[in-house]
Structure 1
């Protein structure tokens, strides 16, 4: 069993509360919890696995709150949810047989593009507009994002939010609510895969899950209350923070290429 000092446990709990709050609004809470788990001396695989279990509780709490507030219609979400689960299963299987190095190059570029869209693109509001595709057709998009989440993960919430706003015409608060439901479904699949492999540190993960639930509850209420005024800038900040985190790795191929240019 993994033992740690009480003060480290308290810090992990605090990190989970903050991550749950951020996740409920813009996603990217793993930027807080994964480094915290690694700093506590937990191995990378166990840190990612434990992060998935506690993150699932946070997205579940946010999904429940949004649903209770009438922000989610699960009838509309049926096909995208099914597609997300299938995609996440296939992604979790594929990651065992595929080199993910190319994602370290592509992902920062995509995240910068998303940040620029929410920063300079058409102003995202709470007003729904005409959808560009049906929920059934959107299932193909959701399945692709689910595959990515099972395969790799960072930025999944931002990808879902952008797709729901641009393709289904949802207002930003409603898109955030649906993002939590879709992200929760893909997280559960990842938890099952990691649990079967014996990588989850259950005691730490469940303790942090309590913090995630608290943070998710607070974050979802804040998103409903403040809407795009809070969601839009936080999405931009989280996307750019993920880019910085990815490029801080000296082994990142994109960082190496950029360093060669300058």
Structure 2
């Protein structure tokens, strides 16, 4: 592990805790944790920051997933199927990533995110118990596996930012879940995709394991708190956090594009 001052270490641990909380509620914790690692460890290659992020995030995501499964009506079987398809999709996306310019993708993603934010704002019932309707049919599950799993998995491998948030929105729309259940399902999918990415980073030796273990403790604590708050406060709380994360993601992408 590189030399890190006590102040930097404490700030990274706090960032890990907050990222765990955000991830557990609505996804998108990487928006905070990756920049924190890059800023806190400027001497470390970017690949090591990404690999360490995955090692930290998978612990908090797994803990949040377990909490959700115990208390929310989640279909683990469906979530794992989507997750495995997302894992395959992410490998395909990573294969094509070298030939795609992120400068081209950022404006498209910003437009999509702003459209999503407008949709959520002007349709207050979206993702609530009153909006969720009907049983989860086989057709919906197949659509979720192929389009949500494969499509967003491909996006995650190709570009990545906001995948967890997109997962919550897509699962809410396709499976007609309330946002709490969609967030719970997304956590299981995230565990699958994080495991695949972490395996690749570990194979390449791009994980700072000592730092990751310490930060993972804080990430797990933040994830547990976030999952419990989401379960207690319900869909409206998740919806509010979702909008904050979406606008934050748009701001970050805009800064990366034009700064």
- TM exceeding 0.5: yes
How many pairs align? 252
Which residues of 2 match residues 167-178 of structure 1 at below 5 A? Answer: 167-178=174-185
CA contact (8 A) 2:180 2:234 kept: yes
Residues 1:189 and 1:237: Cα distance change in structure 2 (over 3 Å): same
CA contact (8 A) 1:111 1:155 kept: no
Q: Say which SS state the counterpart of residue 248 (structure 1) adopts.
A: helix
- Partner Cα distance (2:100, 2:32) in 1: 27
**2:232 aligns with one of 212, 222, 225:** 225
Residues 1:226 and 1:232: Cα distance change in structure 2 (over 3 Å): same
Residues 1:220 and 1:20: Cα distance change in structure 2 (over 3 Å): same
**1:61 aligns with one of 57, 60, 63:** 63
Q: Say which SS state the counterpart of residue 15 (structure 2) adopts.
A: helix
Structure 2 stretches of 5 or more lacking a match?
none
Alignment-derived partner of residue 28 in structure 1 = 28
Residues 1:54 and 1:78: Cα distance change in structure 2 (over 3 Å): closer
CA contact (8 A) 2:72 2:181 kept: no
The Cα shift of 1:138 comes to 1.7
Q: Which moved more, 1:178-187 or 1:119-128?
A: 119-128
**1:129 aligns with one of 126, 133, 149:** 133
CA contact (8 A) 1:129 1:171 kept: no
Task: String of CA shifts for 1:115-156, please: whole Å, max 9, x gaps.
Answer: 222111251313431358421232111111011112221111
- Partner Cα distance (2:199, 2:93) in 1: 13
Residues 1:93 and 1:196: Cα distance change in structure 2 (over 3 Å): farther
- Partner Cα distance (1:205, 1:95) in 2: 26
Relative to the length of structure 1, the TM-score reads 0.89
The Cα shift of 1:78 comes to 4.2
Relative to the length of structure 2, the TM-score reads 0.90
The Cα shift of 1:238 comes to 0.3
CA contact (8 A) 1:54 1:208 kept: yes
Structure 1 stretches of 5 or more lacking a match?
257-262
Q: Say which SS state the counterpart of residue 206 (structure 2) adopts.
A: coil
Residues 1:78 and 1:29: Cα distance change in structure 2 (over 3 Å): closer
Residues 1:151 and 1:188: Cα distance change in structure 2 (over 3 Å): farther
The yes-or-no answer on 1:200 pairing with 2:207 is yes
- Partner Cα distance (1:150, 1:64) in 2: 25
**1:155 aligns with one of 162, 172, 195:** 162
Alignment-derived partner of residue 260 in structure 1 = none
Which residues of 2 match residues 15-94 of structure 1 at below 5 A? Answer: 15-40=15-40, 41=42, 42-94=44-96
The Cα shift of 1:97 comes to 4.6
The yes-or-no answer on 1:7 pairing with 2:7 is yes
- Partner Cα distance (1:97, 1:196) in 2: 23
